[in-house]
Amino acid sequence: MISTVSLNRSHGGVQGVYRHDSRATGTEMTFSVFVPPRPGAVGFPVVFFLSGLTCTHANVTEKGEFRRTCAELGLILVAPDTSPRGEGVPGDPAGAYDFGLGAGFYVDATQEPFARNYRMWTYVTAELADVIAEHFPADMERQSICGHSMGGHGALTIALTHPDRYRAVSAFAPIAAPSLAPWGIKALGGYLGNDMSAWRRHDAVALIEDGARLRDLLVDVGDADPFLAEQLRPELLEHACATTGIPLNLRRQVGYDHSYYFISTFMAEHLHWHAARLKA
């Protein structure tokens, strides 16, 4: 059962925001869905967009500038929250922005006190997908995934783990090797503990090193991104793809930073990338 928070007409389609009680997280979860103008009974391909640290569904919904292109291409875009929220959901004890609330890192936590609620991997890959299939005119045989920063990490690791489910993947400024980045070390250690083999299953570069493969990959980073060198490490993804023969289109965009000004500039190009692979 889902409840409707808001519905707005946009580019001939409908932008909705919805809530439901999640079995995976044990909390109420909010997500947004844009449904393009419907030409008939045929289901639309679905693009999942995973957002970054501190974000909710609202960031890309309000600032991503995707609706015109989704309407033109006939794509549903789904934007979940980035972590569970609500009374009793633990956050970072020190109140930091990079762990806990708004920073679920798209893993299923195994460490207390996070294991009960922080199950974003299961939420995105299983529960939310089922909700979309049940309530929206979606063709779940044609799914793809995209994300930004922490969400780029999530998109890459999910697609690498389920290459037969997601026909396309792209990312904006992804945390490419979280096992080697301060944000990732904190999150993976806090949610998964000290077992580094568990970390590797949620590290795109490590997954590729361990045999995971993709058909191809589009990644944009801004060369003015303040997190580029320490947190994102795109050169490690570039090396891993080159070594294993994964076609990677890594675009270093001159003068762009980490913000939605960057994302919205190149969002249409990413959606065209997805559409070409979803409709093939």
Give how many domains the chain has, as a whole number: 1
pLDDT of residue 66: 98
Active-site position among 148, 153, 258, 270? 258
The upper half-sphere exposure of residue 226, i.e. CA atoms within 13 Å in the direction of its Cβ, equals 1
The Cα 270–Cα 220 span in angstroms is 9
Select which of 98, 203, 220, 225 is catalytic: 225
pLDDT in tens, the chain (280 residues): 899 999 999 999 999 999 999 999 999 999 999 999 987 667 999 999 999 999 999 999 999 999 999 999 999 999 999 999 999 999 999 999 999 999 999 999 999 999 999 999 999 999 999 999 999 999 999 999 999 999 999 999 999 999 999 999 999 999 999 999 999 999 999 999 999 999 999 999 999 999 999 999 999 999 999 999 999 999 999 999 999 999 999 999 999 999 999 999 999 999 999 999 998 6
pLDDT value at position 279?
86
Could you list the residue range(s) of the whole structural domain that residue 249 is in?
2-278
Say if CB 141 and CB 167 are below 8 A apart.
no
Residue type, 54: T
Decide if 266 contacts 172 (C-beta within 8 A).
Answer: yes
Please give the C-alpha separations between residue 247 and each of 47, 78, 239, 241, 276, in angstroms, as whole numbers.
21, 26, 11, 7, 16
Based on the residue annotation, tell me whether 202 is a catalytic residue of this protein: no
- CB neighbours of 271 closer than 8 A, spacing ≥ 6? 47, 66, 69, 70, 73, 75
| CATH code (residue 272) | 3.40.50.1820
131 is written with which tokens?
A: 């909700």
Half-sphere exposure of 216 (CA within 13 A, CB side): 9
**Longest CA span, the chain:** 52
Closest CA to 116 of 93, 86, 94, 96: 86
**Measured distance CA(30)–CA(48) in Å, rounded:** 14
pTM of the predicted protein model: 0.97
Q: Which residues are within 8 A (CB) of 207 and not within 5 positions of it... i.e. 6 or more apart?
A: 157, 160, 161, 200, 201
Q: Note if 149 is an active site residue.
A: yes
In the three-class reduction of DSSP (H, G, I as helix; E, B as strand; rest coil), residue 132 is classed as helix
pLDDT of residue 41: 65
Which residue is catalytic, options 51, 83, 144, 149?
149
